[in-house]
Structure formats: structure tokens, C-alpha cells
Amino acid sequence: METEYDKALSEIKEKCLKCHKCPLGETKTNTVFSGGVPNSKLMLIGEAPGYYEDMQGEPFVGKAGQLLDKILGCVGFSRKENIYICNTLKCRPPDNRDPLPDEKLACSEYLDAQVKILQPRIILLCGRVAVHSFIDTKLGITKIRGKWFEGPYFSKMMPIFHPSYLLRNDSREKGSPKWLMWQDIKEVRRVYDQLD
């Protein structure tokens, strides 16, 4: 049976799929609304769809997405079971350029609705663009990654590195971006396991 929750989510998704509030609605191939399971305690918010995501209509399916799945999988998180994944923008910016302020503003209706309807307990802000959509700070991601912040609807939010940054930094040595990501994801799992 369809619940109020399912109905609210499918209504906002339908609206998003038809959206032309910004010019990206004209240039995209597919809208990338979300992946993973809606009824999750854990939500991950990335930046915007890239080439492969735009082709397939799924978030994080390219190289960065494959690395992300590996990292999440190391602590037992998977999009089939326990995580909901979406992006700040639902349509691909041409040539993967940074989202423009007007595009973020136009798309915030959808992201805000996803957070309000799903009310995840933990929100992972993956990369600079997602961080700046929720946290008003001049500090770079290297300064605030791995720290907990109060999020909307009594959630806990943590900024984490974007996997494409990790792809450019291969070292696994102590203190390297990959090593720091490993500490962060273990901390997320620890707090997740304490949720009631």
C-alpha cells in the first residue's frame, strides 16, 4: 500500500523530472533524482550528475561512484540496503563545470524536499558543493571533513571528501586523503550503529 511518505516522494520526483526552472533542464539527457533506498537512516549528498550519471539517470555510477561504493561497502553500507544517495543538482552541468548559484537555488526545492520527506538521521555532505549548501563556512573541506554538525530535522551531518578528489590522490599513507576518508567512514559506521 502506498503511504503518505511514498506519495510525497513520488510527487516531488515527478515534478523534478519535468523541471525547467533552470537551463540545465534543456541540456540534460536524464534527470538524476536519487539512488539507493529511500527508507534509510543514512543519506549521502553529492555535487551534480556527470556524463555517466546523465546517461543512466543514476547518481554516482562513473569512476568516482565505483570508488564511493567500495568505500561504503568496506563498512557494510550499500545502495541496495541502507543508504539513499542524491545530488545538490539533479541535472548535469555542461562539461561538468561547477553548479552556478542560480542552478543551486532552482534545484534546492528538490533537495530540501528529499531531506524533509526522508528525514535521515545521518547526512554525509560529499565534497565542497554539498557542504556549502548546508554549512555556512569559509573553511575548506580539508578543515571540516570528519566533523559532526547539527543538520536539519535533528540529523547529524558530516562533510566528507568527494571520491573524485580521492581518485586524484592515490596515496594510502597515514594522513593522506584516502586514509582520512577511511577514518571518517569508520566514524560514520560507529555512530550509525548507535542509532535507535
Q: Give the residues lining the site for ligand URA (CB under 6 A).
A: 46-50, 53, 59-60, 62, 64-65, 87
The residue with its CB nearest to ligand URA is: 46
Minimum Å gap between C-beta 82 and ligand URA is: 18
Minimum Å gap between C-beta 190 and ligand URA is: 25
| Residue 5 or 51 with smaller CB distance to ligand URA | 51
| Residue 127 or 151 with smaller CB distance to ligand URA | 127
| Residue 165 or 192 with smaller CB distance to ligand URA | 165
Write the DSSP assignment of the chain as a string of letters. Answer: ---HHHHHHHHHHHHHHT--SSTHHHH-SS----EE-SS-SEEEEES---HHHHHHT-SS-SHHHHHHHHHHHHTT--TTTT-EEEES-SSPPGGGPPPPHHHHHHHHHHHHHHHHHH--SEEEEESHHHHHHH---SS-HHHHTT--EE-GGG-EEEEE--HHHHHT----STTSHHHHHHHHHHHHHHHHHH--
| Residue 59 or 159 with smaller CB distance to ligand URA | 59
Minimum Å gap between C-beta 162 and ligand URA is: 6
| Residue 59 or 120 with smaller CB distance to ligand URA | 59
